[in-house]
């Protein structure tokens, strides 16, 4: 190989200012990792992200998650590898409520009003029809 290393780059995206990206690079020189015979382990330090968020300059960490995009660069190698989220220790994904209690109450009110309207319409029509003289009586008189 002409150049015997790969660069793995992580781009962390800021959700306060979308154009703000914090990059971290790791150089891999192990030939067995480069040719795919062995896995590599990479440690990332999130201290700079946390400090920037605590100072109010950014919003990298949202609800306990950090969004990243990873790339690999090397001799005749340029690859968009993956994207995803790193979760803080103890992070639990929120459970999506299919029926929000407020929405459920609103739906109950709407259905109650619609039901009352329909009952009123049926009673009104039946009352009006029974009080109206029938057409056969009108014609015969």
Helix (H, G, I), strand (E, B) or coil at 38: coil
pTM exceeds 0.85, yes or no: no
Q: Give the phi and the psi of residue 118 in degrees, each rounded to 5.
A: -65, -40
Q: Distances in Å between the alpha carbon of 74 and those of 5, 34, 37, 92?
A: 6, 10, 17, 37
Comparing CA positions, the residue from 89, 19, 2 lying closest to residue 50 is 89
DSSP state of 57: S
Domain segments of the chain: what residues? 6-87, 101-132
- ∠ CA 77-80-84, rounded to 5°: 150
pLDDT value at residue 68:
92
DSSP state of 12: E
Q: What is the pLDDT along the chain (141 residues), one digit of tens a residue?
A: 456 888 999 999 998 888 889 999 999 999 888 888 999 888 888 899 999 999 988 999 888 899 999 998 888 777 878 899 988 888 888 777 777 778 888 888 999 999 999 998 888 888 876 665 555 555 555
pLDDT value at residue 1:
45
Dmax (CA) for the chain in angstroms is 112
């Amino acid at each position: 190989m002409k150049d015997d290393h790969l660069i793995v780059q992580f781009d962390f995206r800021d959700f306060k200012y979308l154009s703000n990206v914090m990059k971290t690079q790791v150089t891999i020189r192990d030939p067995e990792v480069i040719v795919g015979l062995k896995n590599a382990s990479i440690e990332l330090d999130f201290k700079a992200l946390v400090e920037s968020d605590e100072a109010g300059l950014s919003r990298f960490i949202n609800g306990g998650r950090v969004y990243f995009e990873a790339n690999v660069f090397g001799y005749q190698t340029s690859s968009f590898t993956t994207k995803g989220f790193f979760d803080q220790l103890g992070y639990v994904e929120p459970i999506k409520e299919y029926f929000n209690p407020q929405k459920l109450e609103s739906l109950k009110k709407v259905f109650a009003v619609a039901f009352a309207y329909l009952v009123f319409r049926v009673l009104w029509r039946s009352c009006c029809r029974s009080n109206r003289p029938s057409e056969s009586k009108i014609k015969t008189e």
